[in-house]
Amino acid sequence: IPPAIVSRGNALTVLLSSAVEQLNKINNLYVAITYTTLDNACGGSLTALMGEFSSPNYPETYPRNVECVWELSASPGNKMTLFFKELDIDSTDDCNGDYLEVREQYENGPLLGDFCGNQIPTNLTVANSFWVKFRSNEADVAKGFLAGYSYDMLSEITGTSGTITSPLYPRSYARTDNIGWRITVDMGSVIAMNFNRFAIDRHTDDPELCACALVIYDGYDETAAPLLKDCGYLKPAPLTSTSSVVYIVLDHSELIESSLFMLNWQSIFFSNVPSSPVDPCNGHATIVLNSTNATFNLSSPGYPDGYKFNLDCTWIFQSTMPTYHPFLSFELIDLVESSDCLEDYVEVFNSSDLAEWKSFGRICTFATRGTYNFHGTPHLKLEFRTDYIQNRIGFTGTVFLRCGGLLTDPNGVITQPDSLPMVEPDMLVNRTETYESCNWTINVRTGWTIEFTFAKLNITIQPAGPHVSNGYVAIMNGMDEFSPLLGQYSGTDIPGTINTSSNHAFVQYRPSSSGPNLFELVYREVSVECGGNVVLSAQFNSTDIMTPNYPEIPPAHSECFWRVLAPAGQLLRVQVAGQMLLPYMPQCKTEYIQMRAGLTSYAPELLHSCSSDLSQRIMTSTNALSIKYFNDRPDPNAGIKLRVTLAKCGSAVRGAHGSISSKNYPQLGGYPAPAVCEYYIQEGVYGMMMLSFEDLHLPAKANCSSEDN
């Protein structure tokens, strides 16, 4: 299907022809075209698979005083990407003149950006729909913009329920490109699906004869076991996954007829651990462990009588408990041994996201017992491959949950495990080893730090001795055990709040050899404490505003907002009171101070540290001031301290008529000296204003050379 076409005038001619006589005899050869009229050649609803749109008259200059709105939308469950090929819009401060506004979903949806100038936006995200507005004023014009959009070939979907349809639904999809969807729900849940409409490759109802098909895999990608592969008109029966991820593909690689479908899906919490959910040698089996008492007995197919030739088996292990991870221990591995493990082998992987896997290496040992143990981070995968020449007994092992893991939630609780099983050669799996430790890595959002508080602490401390091992909870300021130590805690005295300096922390627990071993550690992510609202008055006429940690360097990736309000009619003055080493460069984006004469993000900009001199006199034109400090650098330059005071004199007045006077008028010498007083009279956008002096009493010198003028 060609992309959308926009005419350059008020007429468009469409000609359909075929020079091939055989094609004219095909009954199902057809073209369907939809059209929309556009006012002022701008704006409209765009629903095609792909296309372009532009400012009016592009590539010529756009007209003045136009406003265009485009609504881009994909069918339910599909994502689209918006991108810009060219941008040339008259540049103004904060794009307050001509601008291009992009939002996700609709007019009041999340703002993705206001754009002007000629720097092409790159920070746009994928979404189901976009709302785009172009606005020009009566001032200067420029070339405009050219934008493109397209459906994504793979849509990532999260949540608890939703709907997925074929592209362009309720119209049919007739391209030869395959389209995919991946649904991911919370760990420990499965996905239930049912169809409302189904018409795939409608020339047959026999799945074995499908030229095209809808395939649903019970896992992350096409290597998982298929839950469904179907075509025709008959709606498939409802189906449920065995894991928290399904991968859906509309396979149009051998297209004969167009397709359409609609399915609803819902996340369902799965409370039981499957003993053998699917055949691991037909795709992969996903085993979800949701209890510290759950144990999965793992063995190669055919064990102990020997495995078959040409096996390709995969098991994936996940934990529903964030503070625990799967732990695999082999009791026996008996494979055809070779130096490079190219014949029969097992290979174990770990992953933090189920997408990227890191291998621990291959194992192909002969009759080896109990020497291989593996921890998930937090996910674990085992692959078993055999050739067609020789075979042996195979392998057997156990998978259960161990304490420790990767925590990424913004807050959580870490406690001691019920027991710490340790697996060593010739030892039973459920044997408790009191000297074993647990490790947790905590990662929160960039620009935030982590705060720890102990809700409970009772770890025995005994006098040192040859058989005494005292336990502790240690917190490191980083990602691993080699990071700087924030503190090591034991006994019963609960310490105060512990804070990291970054968004990473590492927690290690080691129990005492005897006595109580109890603790409950609560963590939460916290933003850098800065910003706030200040109201000045005659009694409280100044305030100091400082970047976090001032006079030290601010934390990386921090953002602060201050709002200062003066009494009605009064003005505010800003002075630099402390050292400032912010970078001085045009259009800098990574670290700056910005001031606006008002309390909103659209108020007139007073100053931007990247393009202005902070040592200059800064005076508002209203009684309100907003200050923003922003840095998105791993190594900020330095902090700044600003002093905001009520102006000694001057005012801002509104209305169609009124009067202004110097401070303390008519008292002789009543106005402050030295001082610079500014008065702002705001009558409105249109019309003229007439000023008339009723009194003027200043020192008289030729050409007003006096300092008072």
In a domain, 641, yes or no: yes
DSSP SS3 for 95: helix
Candidate from 69-83, 303-317, 419-433, 609-623 with smallest mean pLDDT? 419-433
Q: Could you report the per-residue pLDDT of 226-260, keeping only the tens digit for each?
A: 888 888 888 888 888 877 889 999 988 777 677 88
Question: The domain that contains 109 carries what CATH number?
Answer: 2.60.120.290
277 part of a folded domain: no
Residue 386 confidence (pLDDT): 92
Clarify whether residues 352 and 234 are in a common domain.
no
pLDDT score of 77: 92
Report pLDDT for 361.
Answer: 92
Residue 70 lies in a domain: yes
**Among 17-26, 357-366, 440-449, 639-648, the least confident range:** 17-26
* Same-domain check for residues 297 and 400: yes
* Same domain assignment for residues 144 and 160: no
Q: What is the pLDDT of residue 701?
A: 72
Distance, in Å, from the CA atom of 579 to the CA atom of 9, rounded to the nearest integer, reads 59
Within a domain: 236: yes
Nearest to 41 by CA among 70, 19, 20, 18: 70
Residue whose structure tokens are 């209305």: 655
| CA nearest neighbour of 661 among 697, 635, 607 | 697
The pLDDT value given to residue 432: 34
Distances from the Cα of 295 to the Cα of 318, 398, 437, 456, angstroms: 12, 7, 20, 29
* Maximum Cα–Cα distance across the chain: 114
The predicted model scores a pTM of 0.47
Q: What pLDDT was estimated at residue 29?
A: 56
The percent of residues above 90 in pLDDT, for the chain, comes to: 18
624 phi, psi to nearest 5 deg: -130, 145
Asked if 184 and 77 sit in the same domain, the reply is no
pLDDT interval class at 631 (50, 70, 90): confident
Considering the domain architecture, whether residues 197 and 251 belong to the same structural domain is answered as yes
Which one-letter amino acid corresponds to residue 90? D
**What's residue 423's pLDDT?**
39
C-alpha distances (whole Å) from 436 to each of 319, 456, 511, 600 are 20, 21, 8, 56
Whether residue 9 lies inside any domain: the answer is no
- Give burial (CB, 10 Å; 0-12/13-18/19+) of 684: exposed
Separation of alpha carbons 128 and 560, rounded Å: 32
Q: How many helices (H) and strands (E) does the chain have?
A: 1, 46
In whole angstroms, give the CA distance from residue 701 to residue 70: 62
pLDDT of res. 202: 61
Element (H, E) at 679: strand 679-682
- C-alpha 626/C-alpha 561 separation (Å) is 7
**pLDDT computed for residue 204 by the predictor:** 56
391 touches 303 (CB < 8 A): no
Sheet arrangement for strand 504-510:
405-407, 438-443, 504-510, 472-476, 485-489
The Cα 214–Cα 589 span in angstroms is 46
Looking at 594, 614, 647, the residue that finishes a domain is 647
Confidence of residue 581 (pLDDT cuts 50, 70, 90): low
What's the number of CA atoms in the CB half-sphere (13 Å) around residue 412? 20
Is residue 643 scored above 80 in pLDDT?
A: yes
- At residue 706, the pLDDT reads 62
Where is average pLDDT lowest: 79-83, 208-212, 570-574?
208-212
Please check whether residues 572 and 613 belong to one and the same domain: yes
* Single residue among 269, 304, 319 that ends a domain in this structure: 269
Using a pLDDT cut of 70, give the percent of the chain over it: 85
* Residue for token pair 């329920």: 161
What average pLDDT does the chain have? 81
Residue 493 shares a structural domain with residue 563: no
pLDDT for residue 542 is more than 80: yes
Mean pLDDT of 664-678: 80
| Stronger pLDDT, 452 or 695, i.e. the higher one | 452
Among 120-124, 130-134, 601-605, which stretch is predicted with the lowest mean pLDDT? Answer: 120-124
- Alpha-carbon distances, residue 159 vs 188, 263, 265, 461 (angstroms): 14, 15, 10, 46
**pLDDT tens, position by position, 70-82:** 989 999 999 988 8
Look at residue 566 and tell me whether its pLDDT is greater than 80: yes
Tens of pLDDT along 378-417? 889 999 999 988 889 999 999 998 889 888 887 888 998 8
In the 8-state DSSP scheme, what is residue 575? E
**Same structural domain for residues 517 and 486?**
yes
422 within some domain = no
Neighbours of 90 (CB within 10 A): 20
Confidence at 6, pLDDT banded by 50, 70, 90: low
Confidence of residue 348 (pLDDT cuts 50, 70, 90): very high
In a domain? residue 419: no
pLDDT for position 683: 60
Average the pLDDT over 522-526 and give the result: 86
Structural domain boundaries, residue 80:
23-151
| pLDDT score of 419 | 59
Same domain, 42 and 91: yes
The answer on 297 and 201 residing in a single domain is: no
* Cβ pair 345, 362 in contact under 8 A: yes
Number of domains in the chain: 6
DSSP string, 494-525: PP--EE-SSSEEEEEEE--SSS-EEEEEEEEE
* Polymer length in residues for the chain: 709
Residue 463 scores a pLDDT above 50: yes
- Is residue 426 in some structural domain? no
Model pLDDT for residues 156-196, shown as the tens digit of each residue: 898 888 999 999 888 888 887 889 999 998 877 888 888 88
- Residue 504 sits in the same domain as residue 538: no
- Choose one of 130, 151, 172: the last residue of a domain: 151
User: Could you tell me if 53 and 36 are in contact, meaning their C-beta atoms sit under 8 angstroms apart?
Assistant: no
Q: How far apart are CA 63 and CA 56, in angstroms?
A: 7
How is 437-500 classified by DSSP, letter by letter? -EEEEEE--TTEEEEEEEEEEEE------TT----EEEEESSSSTTSPEEEEE-BSPPP--EE-
Domain shared by 192 and 264, yes or no = yes
